[in-house]
A and B are shown apart, each in its own frame.
Chain A
């Protein structure tokens, strides 16, 4: 019952809770970066379950984040005070809103996962991209969600504790799953789907489970994001955002949860470091400009990574194997 992992989880949660009031007092800019790191860890770990462990190339993760962000924001804005106005009441309302976001996102994950069952590689990638656009399109046409004006006014419920508590929970769930028989299932699907089916593994179940779980966590991340930034806009959840998360997973190493967490942190800090770099007077102007344009660097990073170290920072050699 009291396995090591569970103890670690509890310790981490308590540590977050204790640290939270102190952390909230730091420089708001660093706080922004810190919370963003936490949110990105949740996104990357969730996507890693789909892309890394189960080998399903999903390019639409931002769509699930959007579903969660908007669902939780809507609930907060409409019913945030329904339980009362005390701190306990509003916090409970917030957590409930987060879970609603997660569930709505999970349902979208189901909607995306089921049709995608028969698809592989490139097709799957394009279809998930398509679903990202569809989800965005739905939001852009939904007046109660602010449509293309954006949705604002959320109370900043997201704290260091909630962000990293959920990050810890996400990592815990993903790791536990992967180390269980479910993990065997995911990996089997990734390595060779036909062989897996031949061995009696229900590949459908694992693929759908991966999508739904990945989406659920993305939804939680979305809710945390919405209640931190206090303003969300459909364009913030577009293909570029999905690519951001994909780069984290690839850099970290598909199939390594530790790797993607590190990569998530790195890639959150990178744009901010680049901001400083682009202002350093000593550098030639074009270099400053390239530093400003982080997408150029990201794309080069992707290409170079794939050519030289496709397993990312910490990944297993699955992508380096030569085809038999």
Chain B
């Protein structure tokens, strides 16, 4: 039985070990991600991309003559952990900056701590506008939902799909937010929402909602959810004889989406950050390196994880120091960075101004359609 008296000793021993490992010729960068739990696939992807970037940077000599040391903690997709992890990384491991997270709610939990401690935080993929509103030390390298919503809305209108039904995941703020911005834009620009329906994370049967939406005779259905449910929704929509295109956002990007949906998603479109088919040399270079290291094709979380690490490294170089205040200023000045996920400029709200990628699905595979600039 672990005696209570042993524990402080154990902790002391461990922290001593940690302290002695504080080599002077390393720059410590923290990362928190959901490596296990419900959002594991997102966290693992962004982590892989980040690790690849760090390795490349170190192989090229590091930053300011020092190697970057990545310290990663798993938040297990659980609320309450990001704040503990942030405190640990900042005060125990003495990181100079924090990378993470994909989920906006978990980014929102860690952000105030980074802000208070003047440690810059870069989220690879949180799209809720509130994240960067926490303070001027909080950045993100992805676009935010107000932009993404309008992208799909404009696309729908450009194809002549004026009457759109919306199917939202009420348990996810991402889905609700994206739906909100889509609806706002399309109704202000001549479109009409035929009907709105809802579902929850983990649901498997959507025939009731789809039957109801079908009755409204829409030109297209907007489903701003995550791939786990979307794949089933698509299959059931097909079974129910719904022939109109389905539209979605970056939450669709996931390994199992096409595996489960098969051909049910043919003719559908989604907006996201990155396409592995993009012929751009920078993108293809990344895809090749990622495939070589991990044996699989990268998704956009991996690409964003990569970009967040590179942008941090560039900013440290520009600042010439890892001091929080100066680093923050350098980060804010990021302009025309040629990232994997597009040419990135951080705006005054510290959000990324960059194009979105629209993908279509043809014959059970993703196909690059177009890039949409902000």
Q: Do chains A and B touch in the complex (CB under 8 A)?
A: yes
Binds A, one of B44-52, B171-179, B240-248: B171-179
Q: How far is the CA of A292 from the CA of B91 in the complex (A)?
A: 21
A266-301 vs B: 1/0 string, CB under 8 Å? 100100110110100000000000001110000000
Contact between A32 and B87 (Cβ–Cβ < 8 Å)? yes
Other-chain residue from A149, A293, A294 in contact with B105 (beta carbon distance below 8 A): A149
Cβ contact within 8 Å between B109 and A233: yes
Kindly identify, within residues 224 to 267 of chain A, every residue whose CB is under 8 Å from any CB belonging to chain B: 225, 229-233, 235-236, 240, 262, 265-266
Are the C-beta atoms of B108 and A273 separated by less than 8 Å? no
Contact residues in A for B104 (Cβ distance below 8 Å): 149
Q: Which residues of A contact B83 (CB under 8 A)?
A: 32, 229-231
Q: Which of A31, A229, A313 has the most CB of B within 10 A?
A: A229
Q: In the bound complex, do residue A233 and residue B79 qualify as a contact, i.e. CB atoms below 8 Å apart? A: yes
Q: Is residue B90 contacting chain A, with contact meaning CB distance below 8 A?
A: yes
Q: Closest 5 CB pairs between A and B?
A: A236-B79, A149-B173, A29-B88, A231-B109, A28-B87
Task: Give 24 CB contacts A-B under 8 Å.
Answer: A27-B91, A27-B92, A29-B84, A29-B87, A29-B88, A31-B87, A140-B171, A149-B173, A150-B108, A150-B109, A229-B80, A231-B108, A235-B105, A236-B78, A240-B78, A266-B4, A272-B88, A273-B10, A273-B11, A275-B73, A275-B88, A292-B76, A293-B36, A313-B1
Q: A28-B91, A265-B4 are in contact. Are A152 and B108 (CB under 8 A)?
A: yes
Of chain B, the residue at the smallest CB distance from A136 is B171
Query: Is B219 an interface position by the 8 A CB rule?
Result: no
Known: A29-B91, A231-B108. 11 other contacts (CB 8 A): A28-B90, A29-B84, A33-B84, A147-B173, A148-B171, A229-B80, A229-B83, A231-B112, A266-B7, A276-B14, A292-B35
State the CA gap A300–B92 with chains docked (Å). Answer: 31
Beta-carbon nearest neighbor of B112 in chain A: A230
Chain A hits for B322, CB < 8 A: none
* Docked pose: A194 CA to B80 CA in angstroms: 42
A28 to B117, CA, bound (A): 11
Distance in angstroms from A248 CB to nearest chain B CB is 14
B66 within 8 A of A: no
- Cβ of A36 within 8 Å of any chain B Cβ, yes or no, is yes
Q: In the complex, which residues 237-289 of chain B have their Cβ closer than 8 Å to any Cβ of chain A?
A: none
**How would residues 157 to 183 of chain B score, 1 for a CB under 8 Å from any chain A CB and 0 otherwise?**
000000000000011110011000000
Known contacts A140-B171, A150-B173, A229-B83, A269 near B7 by CB under 8 Å: yes
- Taking the closest CB of chain A, its distance from the CB of B224, in whole angstroms, is 14
- Give the CA-CA distance A149 to B79 in the complex, in Å: 12
In Å, the complex CA distance between A232 and B105 comes to 9
Chain A residue nearest to B92 (CB atoms) is: A29
Of all chain B residues, which has the CB nearest A33? B84
Closest to B134 in A: A152
Determine the chain A residues whose CB is within 8 A of the CB of B11 once the complex forms.
30, 269, 273
Contacting B at CB under 8 A, from A99-144, are 140-141
Q: How far is the CB of B251 from chain A (nearest CB, A)?
A: 14
B84 touches A32 (CB 8 A): yes
> Which residues of B105-121 have CB atoms within 8 Å of chain A's CB atoms?
105, 108-109, 112
Chain B 1-16 residues near chain A, CB threshold 8 A: 1-2, 4, 7, 10-11, 14
Question: What residues of chain A lie closer than 8 Å to B84, measured between beta carbons?
Answer: 29, 32-33, 36, 272
Q: Does B153 contact A (CB under 8 A)?
A: no
CB proximity to B under 8 Å, residues A199-236: 225, 229-233, 235-236
Report B-chain residues with C-beta under 8 Å of the C-beta of A276. Answer: 14
CA distance A27 to B8 in the complex (A): 14
Q: Which residues of B contact A231 (CB under 8 A)?
A: 83, 108-109, 112
- Bound-state CA distance A294–B78 (Å) is 12
The chain A residue sitting closest to B38, CB to CB, is A235
Chain A residues near B176 (CB-CB < 8 A):
147-149
Bound Cα distance A231, B112 (Å): 9
Within 8 A of B (CB), among A137-194: 140-141, 147-150, 152
Closest chain-A Cβ to B29's Cβ sits at a distance in Å of 16
Name which residue of chain A comes closest to B172, CB basis: A148
User: Residue-by-residue, is B51-95 near A (CB-CB < 8 Å gives 1, otherwise 0)?
Assistant: 000000000000000000000011010111001100110111000
Indicate whether B128 reaches chain A with its CB closer than 8 angstroms.
yes
Give the CA-CA distance A284 to B2 in the complex, in Å: 22
Query: Quick check: A148 and B173 within 8 Å, CB to CB?
Result: yes
A273 surroundings in chain B (CB, below 8 A) = 7, 10-11
Residues of B near A262 (CB, < 8 A) are 4
Residues of chain B lying within 8 A (CB to CB) of residue A272? 84, 88
In the complex, are the beta carbons of A152 and B112 less than 8 A apart?
Answer: yes
Q: Give bound CA distance, A43 to B314, whole Å.
A: 46
**Residue of B whose beta carbon sits closest to that of A275:** B73
Contact of B80 among A29, A31, A236 (CB under 8 A): A236
Residues of B within 8 A of A149 (CB): 104-105, 128, 130, 173, 176-177
How far, in whole Å, are A28 and B119 apart by their CA atoms in the complex?
A: 14
Hey, which chain B residues are within 8 Å of A36, CB to CB?
84
CB distance from B324 to the nearest CB of A (A): 15
Contacts of B7 in A (CB 8 A): 266, 269, 273
In the complex, what residues of A have CB within 8 A of residue B91's CB? 27-29
- Residues on B with C-beta less than 8 A from A30 are 11
Q: Which residue of A lies closest to B116 (CB)?
A: A156
Contact in complex: B4, A150 (CB < 8 Å): no
- What residues on B are CB-neighbors of A29 within 8 Å? 84, 87-88, 90-92
